[in-house]
Structure 1
Amino acid sequence: MIDDDVELAELMHDVLKSYSIELHAVHSPSAGFAALEEKTYDLVLLDVMLPEVNGLQMCSKIRYSSSAYKDVPIIILTARTELTDMVVGLETGADDYVKKPFEPRELVARINTILRRTKPAEKSSASSGAPSENAESGAVKSGLSCEITLEGDTLQIETQRARILVNGVKLETTSMEFELMAALAQRPGEILNRDDLLGEVHGTAVIYTRSIDALIYRLRTKIKEAGASVDFIRTVRGRGYSLVGHVNQLSGV
């Protein structure tokens, strides 16, 4: 937890401990970066109002870092009520946001939701002796929901393992990025508008539709960086987005 409210951090330490969640709190961005460099964390709780730089700037710095912690899940904590702050938080790479003051059980629920998406896949892969995540096209097919090929490139979305592979290379995605891709994979080739995708990604359409465009941009960038020479996500101006290519395999999502 990176929050300059020492009293809140101490309170949350005790509350989360009762839910078997271990909390390490620091109170400035510089201390936060030092902690991330020193230890691997499952998730970061990041306050918006911080000294040195604000939490939204820090979130962006984490996401665009070349360090190993760049893909750590992030929940933004904000006392502000402006929709813009929430949208910017999601656009800078946050997985979720919680408004202060919050009910501890709500925060615990948000934490557990994200950890369920990120931890089981790692444990499953490690315990089953599965091939490397970076294996070529012979990657394990269990839990495969959708496989799409386009001009020689392959995109795989595996919902059981909550992962996306491009030509066998695993993408490091936030939970919201994965949910968006999984929503598109439910109906490949169909155009889904932003409101439909908002409902799928965040459970309810409460975030400004511009955040969907930001998630799409980040996904396209990651797919390209993974080596794809084509764009699997098609933009239909004024209507929405769809996955394009030949669907080789499709199962229930």
Structure 2
Amino acid sequence: MSDMARILLIDDDTDLGPPLAAYFRRFGLELVQAFAPSEGLGLLRAGGFDAAILDVMLPEMDGFELCRTIRRESALPIVMLTARGDVMDRVVGLELGADDYLPKPFEPRELVARLQTVLRRMRTTPSSPAALEGPLRFVGLEVDPVTRTAKRQGETLELTSTEFDLLLLLARAPAQVHSRDDILAALRGHDADLYTRAVDIVVSRLRKKLEPLDCIRTVRHAGYALALQPLTS
């Protein structure tokens, strides 16, 4: 059985897939291309993929609607390819649940780096620090770093990898205020081309999923902190 991560590219550019697939293999990634959203959704629903790359400009439906459709069914990591590096495209993509974005034209190495980042978030190995942690429990909320799951009032939440990592960051230091720059550094590593508006978008998305709990406190001109009290055993 191959240990290569399988990535689905949904893009109608017939010249993009073959050279990109050859490049991806150098990094242990298998790339499969679908040329239309309906084809891509069929492949995703059949299972077996570790992440998806969506172009914004697609036939049948645009990449935003496709992202929205995937998010209704799955927390699969999604990287959006945005036209012309348009900031509004990035904002919309993040609001709909994409984990990252990359403006076209892009360098293949940068796309690989973005994918490796989102895939790394989804994996917990026995030797990783998360595996040594037990669940973090608060009034109405439980965050488990090992299974990468969060429960609100006993109900398991459907969180993207970015949303979970933000929640885990806040839960690990509930008394600490995290600045937007700190959050960006923790979630995205050293990736370039980021902006603090992305943090506000992910926080807003996470807040909605945590309702009716009021979990995230905004500290004016400082950042964000967890607003819940830890449960003492």
TM-score (norm 1): 0.74
Q: 1:242 to 1:165 in 2, by over 3 A?
A: same
Amino acid at match of 2:69: K
**5 Å matches for 1:111-122?**
111-120=115-124
From 185, 190, 197, the equivalent of 2:176 is 190
In the TM superposition, what is the alpha-carbon distance from 1:245 to its structure 2 partner?
A: 2.4
The reply to whether residue 15 of structure 1 matches residue 23 of structure 2 is yes
The whole-number CA distance in structure 2 between the counterparts of 1:169 and 1:117 is 22
The whole-number CA distance in structure 1 between the counterparts of 2:220 and 2:172 is 21
From 175, 181, 187, the equivalent of 1:201 is 187
Asked if 1 retains the 8 angstrom alpha-carbon contact of 2:136 and 2:144, the reply is: yes
TM-score (norm 2): 0.79
The whole-number CA distance in structure 1 between the counterparts of 2:207 and 2:54 is 26
Amino acid at match of 2:230: V
Asked if 2 retains the 8 angstrom alpha-carbon contact of 1:78 and 1:100, the reply is: yes
The reply to whether residue 144 of structure 1 matches residue 130 of structure 2 is no
In the TM superposition, what is the alpha-carbon distance from 1:236 to its structure 2 partner?
A: 4.1
Q: Deviations over 1:33-69 (max 9, x none)?
A: 2222233311101111212222122112221x2x3xx
2:14 aligns with: 6
2:98 aligns with: 94
Structure 2: where are the runs of 5+ without partners?
Answer: 1-8
Q: 1:231 to 1:155 in 2, by over 3 A?
A: farther
**SS in structure 2 of the partner of residue 241 of structure 1:** strand
Amino acid at match of 1:241: Y
**SS in structure 2 of the partner of residue 192 of structure 1:** coil
- Identity across the alignment (%): 41
CA-based RMSD of the aligned residues comes to 2.7
1:48 aligns with: 56
The whole-number CA distance in structure 2 between the counterparts of 1:244 and 1:39 is 37
**5 Å matches for 1:25-44?**
25-44=33-52
Q: Deviations over 1:157-177 (max 9, x none)?
A: 52x554433345443322221
The whole-number CA distance in structure 1 between the counterparts of 2:97 and 2:41 is 16
The whole-number CA distance in structure 2 between the counterparts of 1:177 and 1:188 is 16
In the TM superposition, what is the alpha-carbon distance from 1:211 to its structure 2 partner?
A: 2.7
The reply to whether residue 234 of structure 1 matches residue 217 of structure 2 is yes
**5 Å matches for 1:113-192?**
113-120=117-124, 142-144=132-134, 146-149=136-139, 153-158=140-145, 160-167=146-153, 169-192=155-178
Asked if 2 retains the 8 angstrom alpha-carbon contact of 1:198 and 1:206, the reply is: no
**SS in structure 2 of the partner of residue 156 of structure 1:** strand
The whole-number CA distance in structure 2 between the counterparts of 1:112 and 1:213 is 23
Structure 1: where are the runs of 5+ without partners?
Answer: 125-140
Aligned residues between the structures: 219
